[in-house]
Amino acid sequence: MDISKSIMTESAPPPDLLKDYEKVKNASEKGKIEFAQKFEALFVNKLLDEMTKTIGEWGMEKDAASGQIHGMFNMLLSQEITKKGGLGLSKDIYNYISGLEQKDATAQSLDKTI
């Protein structure tokens, strides 16, 4: 296998537009902000779950109830982290979603010009 063919030599292409673009386009600003925050909270929750796995034993029992408590704690903690500013991911997601409308308007004006 020639590894030189798997090395990226050009810049990465921009991401494709969303499949359900019409739903995003018609969403309110509040809905876009909520979506971005919920996505970041989910990401942070998964990050906390993976971080918890690396800690090992805390001296607590590993029964179903304690697992649920840890899961709920991570979920609520991730939501609070996101509300307080989070990792900045929700801002980038919101800006990307908002930028789609501008790209769409530019594409439509180019279509009319051509």
Cβ atoms of residues 48 and 103 within 8 Å? no
Give CA–CA dist 114/100, Å, rounded: 21
**The domain containing residue 50 runs over which residues?**
23-54+64-113
Residue 71 above 70 pLDDT?
A: yes
Residue 114 above 80 pLDDT?
A: no
Cα Rg, the chain, nearest whole Å? 21
20-24, 32-36, 82-86: which has the minimum mean pLDDT?
Answer: 20-24
Total domains, the chain: 1
In a domain, 1, yes or no: no
Give CA–CA dist 103/39, Å, rounded: 22
Residue 110 above 50 pLDDT?
A: no
Burial 23-62 (b: 16+ CB within 10 A, else e): ebeeeeeeebbebbbeebbebbbeebeeeeeeeeeeeeee
In a domain, 100, yes or no: yes
